[in-house]
Structure 1
Amino acid sequence: MERHPQRSVVRLLGPLAVTVAGRTWGPRDLGGIKPRQLLEILLLDRGRIVPKDRIADELWGEHLPRSTSATVETYVSLLRRKLGRSLIGTETGGYRVPREVVDTDLDRFDALLAEAAVATGSARREALCAALTLGRGELLADEPYASWVQGPREHHRARRQQAQVDLAECALGLGELGAAVAAAEEVLTDDPGAERAARVAMAAHHRRGDTAAALRVHDRCRQALADTLGVAPSSATASLCRAITRGVAEPAQDRVVAPVRYADSGGTRIAYQVVGTGPPDLVFVPSFVTNLGATWDDPTYASFLRRLAGLSRLVLFDKRGTGLSDPVVDPPSSGERVADVRSVLDAAGIERAVLFGVCGGGSQCIRFAAEHPDRTLGLILFGAAAKILRAEDYPWGWTYEQHERFLAAFEQAWLTGGTPQRRNPGLAGNPRYRDWFARYVRLAASPFTARQLAEANARADVRDLLPGLRVPCLVLVREDDVWLHPGNSRYLAAHIPGARLLELPGVDHDPWVGDTAAVLAATRRFLRRAVQRPEVATNT
């Protein structure tokens, strides 16, 4: 063993390069394609154990060598001889690259974004510029086709684009109009329908007195949205265009722009946002995949979240493996999901919060409240269930056949956004939301990952935790919910001590669709009681 292992400097953005003790090893210096790929797989999951069977699957797929384990061990030995024994550690059932022995450009990119998230003005601009300069390279450019790099690569691209738009908005706020246009146009070159970037470019051109250029940006964005999604620009973009056309002051933007920050949950980075001032703190946990980079792009969803933020300090986060959070290979366990909520609370400096869980997000909130009652100010469960699948003693869940049909429709839903209409009939006449949702889920996760998460949700069963809950709880459901039978919510209210059940008129499953006023009014009353009586352990 090396008594004082030397840190290796690793370039992941671009072709792989590993520098040890002043010597740099490139993609062709590591003993062949398979040893290099083995090292890259371990580096992408640095800090975590990568099982041998996963290594074999990603290296060879169905075409395994005669002695898989021996071959992997040979590759590890070869890499250790070249790069030092400390870089790859042997663990039970697999291997691990310890974070403390590597200094990667990807980690430095993340650190600069974290610095920018808490900075303001020119300091924020400098941190974003430094991050974007460092992060321009394609992740593992020497592996253009390997399936195991596609998810992390798309994740990095999404974070880089988010940072580029943040830079454009920062420059606009500082009055650096030329820099704002340049940063926004870099995004628009790749994605002409990116409305945040389009609004920055329009506003910057307008302030420079170039109305024609501002309107050209709008027309290009409008055409891109029509061609790709078949929708018109959002109300915020349309309002800005009208103001520019009339030569009047720009309207206040109705889009909430909050910095995306990261919490460390056992080596996995969880992306989160904090919006509003509170009190109290309210953690919103929707049912499925999310992406904070696109959350605020639809007026229907964004309006509901803004109104929640007006009642509280609202905390949003991308679940492990989705959106801007770190990608994962296997679906997260229930324990990891609880740990992720706790890590977000810790990172945001929150001691106690109300948790608002929608559908499958409800079981995650229930489990957190059961394990951490000291950090749970209350529970709001909307259209939630203790168990998704039906059982002899639980007749309200989906049948196995219903769930299989749901899973089978994933690929089509990712193309058309058809799922929201089945969940929320009120969206039938809202093609903009449908197309935003299709784009949103594609940015949040691949169909395969989303299916894995849906299967994990179906296995969840928190019935045994309900009698032991000792926090205030409000259960909300639409009385004719077409997605999950209202009996699921009635079961929760009957088995959680002191829980209050409120059945609202309507058929839509999600709280941001349909009559949102009743949902927000009930939420306001519950939050007010939570602030006034934070010491209450059960409902009265």
Structure 2
Amino acid sequence: MKQAVRFASTPRGRVAYSVVGSGPPLVYLLGWVSHLGLVWDVPAHRGFVEALARRYTVIRYDKLGCGLSDRGRAEFTLESELEVLGALIGQLGLKRYSLFGSCEGGQVAAAHAVRHPDAVASLLLYGSCARGEDLAPEPVRQSILSLIGAHWGMGSRVLADVWLPGASAELTDAFARLQRAAATAETAAALLDMFYRIDVRYLLSEVQAPTLVMHRRGSRAVPFELGRELASLIPGAQFVALEGRMQPIYAEGFEGAASTILAFLGDQGGLRPASGGGGLTEREVQVVDLIAEGLTNASIARVLGVSVRTVDAHVEHVRAKLGVRSRAQMAVWASEQRLSRR
């Protein structure tokens, strides 16, 4: 699959985002620092995203201050993260979508789900916690932040060892280089400090979306018991323990992690990918799915990264193949396809 990177304007700056795959939208909040251009060249990460993208439109973005997004940033708070996420979703015209958050992205995703219960169809959290200060004792947290600021090369290597325990020297070095390319020392430290400061315990009981919480049993970066606590605070949440020690979800057995996510999403009635039918192509099925979620042709064009004229053509082809006239009839067809797969 090819990754298309584009830019969205937010009140706080331009955010780089990518769209891969077809099907209902799945917004993926990457953890800590990221670089869409470089991480796509990591085979395991790419394989993980592609596995999800075979059934969903996966939307990822670099936080402000990181990767291909605007590097200037002054505020590092939960509110600023929510503002940027909301602006991106608004620009893409998404009316209903699933959210997948990793590390502090999980905290942001949970808070967004509470504020937008009618929009979030499913919530998936990985390697996260309810309160960031529980990640490590205060002296340890301050030591890590000081090391990043004083020597980003050494700090990135220490964090790579924490995130990828037992990995080869080659993999650890590559991960450390990616961290340094993704953000400056100042931004990396500020984002990690933000993770330490966020506390969403007070709002987790208000999450209404069906929720899946995943966590590595042997994670050093985010202890396993914190993931279990997170799941216990969300009403009805499913908790899945993933084997291994490496924090990135794609770093160990990404096929199993992707299968777990797809199985969970498939069990939810709100956003299932419609099966093919009526001679529709994969892209046409994707367009019908997005129409069923209430998106306009202009919004669909932004999500898929194509022109409005191209979407208009797809819609006309769908009308002809299904023998329907209205968008409502297309939505009914998509709903019938979903019901037939239950």
TM range (shorter): 0.7 to 0.9
Q: Are 2:108 and 1:370 equivalent residues in the alignment?
A: no
Q: Are 2:30 and 1:276 equivalent residues in the alignment?
A: no
Could you say what secondary structure the match of 2:17 adopts?
A: strand
Q: State whether residues 76 and 190 of structure 2, in contact with CA within 8 Å, keep that contact through their aligned partners in structure 1.
A: no
Give, in whole Å, the separation in 1 of the partners of 2:230 and 2:95: 26
| Deviation (angstroms), 1:467 | 0.8
| Higher Rg of the two aligned structures | 1
Letter of the 1:266 counterpart: P
Partner of 1:340: 84
Q: Are 2:173 and 1:435 equivalent residues in the alignment?
A: yes
**1:28-39 pair list within 5 angstroms:** none
Give, in whole Å, the separation in 2 of the partners of 1:351 and 1:446: 35
Q: 2:140 aligns with which of 402, 421, 430?
A: 402
| Deviation (angstroms), 1:300 | 2.4
Q: Are 2:132 and 1:388 equivalent residues in the alignment?
A: yes
| Deviation (angstroms), 1:405 | 2.7
Could you say what secondary structure the match of 1:374 adopts?
A: coil
Give, in whole Å, the separation in 1 of the partners of 2:245 and 2:110: 24
Could you say what secondary structure the match of 2:268 adopts?
A: helix
Q: 1:423 aligns with which of 163, 168, 186?
A: 163
C-alpha spacing 1:374/1:328, structure 2 compared with 1 (3 Å) = farther
C-alpha spacing 1:498/1:444, structure 2 compared with 1 (3 Å) = same
Residue segments in structure 2 that go unaligned for 5+ positions in a row: 273-292, 294-342
List per-residue Cα deviations over 1:209-228 (Å, max 9, x = no partner).
Answer: xxxxxxxxxxxxxxxxxxxx
Q: 2:268 aligns with which of 530, 535, 538?
A: 530
List per-residue Cα deviations over 1:408-435 (Å, max 9, x = no partner).
Answer: 3325553664422321224x2261x333
Q: State whether residues 30 and 62 of structure 2, in contact with CA within 8 Å, keep that contact through their aligned partners in structure 1.
A: no
List per-residue Cα deviations over 1:475-495 (Å, max 9, x = no partner).
Answer: 111222222111111111111
List per-residue Cα deviations over 1:349-404 (Å, max 9, x = no partner).
Answer: 322221111111111111111111222111111111011113xxxxxx31112212
Could you say what secondary structure the match of 2:133 adopts?
A: coil
Q: State whether residues 97 and 271 of structure 2, in contact with CA within 8 Å, keep that contact through their aligned partners in structure 1.
A: no
Could you say what secondary structure the match of 1:294 adopts?
A: helix
List per-residue Cα deviations over 1:29-80 (Å, max 9, x = no partner).
Answer: xxxxxxxxxxxxxxxxxxxxxxxxxxxxxxxxxxxxxxxxxxxxxxxxxxxx
Give, in whole Å, the separation in 2 of the partners of 1:305 and 1:334: 25
After TM superposition, what 4+ stretches of structure 1 lie above 6 angstroms from structure 2? none
Q: Are 2:246 and 1:501 equivalent residues in the alignment?
A: no
Q: 1:473 aligns with which of 194, 208, 211?
A: 211
Q: 1:355 aligns with which of 99, 102, 107?
A: 99
TM-score, length-normalised on structure 2?
Answer: 0.73
Partner of 1:311: 55
List per-residue Cα deviations over 1:244-269 (Å, max 9, x = no partner).
Answer: xxxxxxxxxxxx43232111211521
Give, in whole Å, the separation in 2 of the partners of 1:296 and 1:328: 23
Give, in whole Å, the separation in 1 of the partners of 2:28 and 2:271: 21
Higher relative contact order (CA 8 A, sep 6+): 2
Q: State whether residues 214 and 239 of structure 2, in contact with CA within 8 Å, keep that contact through their aligned partners in structure 1.
A: yes
Letter of the 1:373 counterpart: P
Letter of the 2:264 counterpart: F
Q: State whether residues 131 and 199 of structure 2, in contact with CA within 8 Å, keep that contact through their aligned partners in structure 1.
A: yes
| Deviation (angstroms), 1:440 | 2.1
Give, in whole Å, the separation in 2 of the partners of 1:412 and 1:312: 40
Letter of the 1:328 counterpart: G
| Deviation (angstroms), 1:344 | 1.8
Q: State whether residues 413 and 419 of structure 1, in contact with CA within 8 Å, keep that contact through their aligned partners in structure 2.
A: no
Could you say what secondary structure the match of 1:379 adopts?
A: strand
| Deviation (angstroms), 1:498 | 0.8
List per-residue Cα deviations over 1:69-116 (Å, max 9, x = no partner).
Answer: xxxxxxxxxxxxxxxxxxxxxxxxxxxxxxxxxxxxxxxxxxxxxxxx
Could you say what secondary structure the match of 2:132 adopts?
A: coil
**1:154-165 pair list within 5 angstroms:** none
Partner of 2:324: none
Partner of 2:332: none
C-alpha spacing 1:503/1:337, structure 2 compared with 1 (3 Å) = same
| Deviation (angstroms), 1:521 | 1.6
Compute the RMSD of aligned alpha carbons.
Answer: 2.1
Partner of 2:227: 489
C-alpha spacing 1:293/1:516, structure 2 compared with 1 (3 Å) = closer
Letter of the 1:386 counterpart: A
Q: Are 2:74 and 1:330 equivalent residues in the alignment?
A: yes
Q: How many residues align?
A: 271
Partner of 2:5: 260
Give, in whole Å, the separation in 1 of the partners of 2:224 and 2:57: 29
C-alpha spacing 1:413/1:310, structure 2 compared with 1 (3 Å) = farther
Residue segments in structure 1 that go unaligned for 5+ positions in a row: 1-255, 391-396, 536-540
| Deviation (angstroms), 1:531 | 4.8
Partner of 1:145: none
Could you say what secondary structure the match of 2:202 adopts?
A: helix
Letter of the 2:159 counterpart: T
Partner of 1:455: 193
Letter of the 2:179 counterpart: V
List per-residue Cα deviations over 1:327-366 (Å, max 9, x = no partner).
Answer: 2342333222112112222222322221111111111111
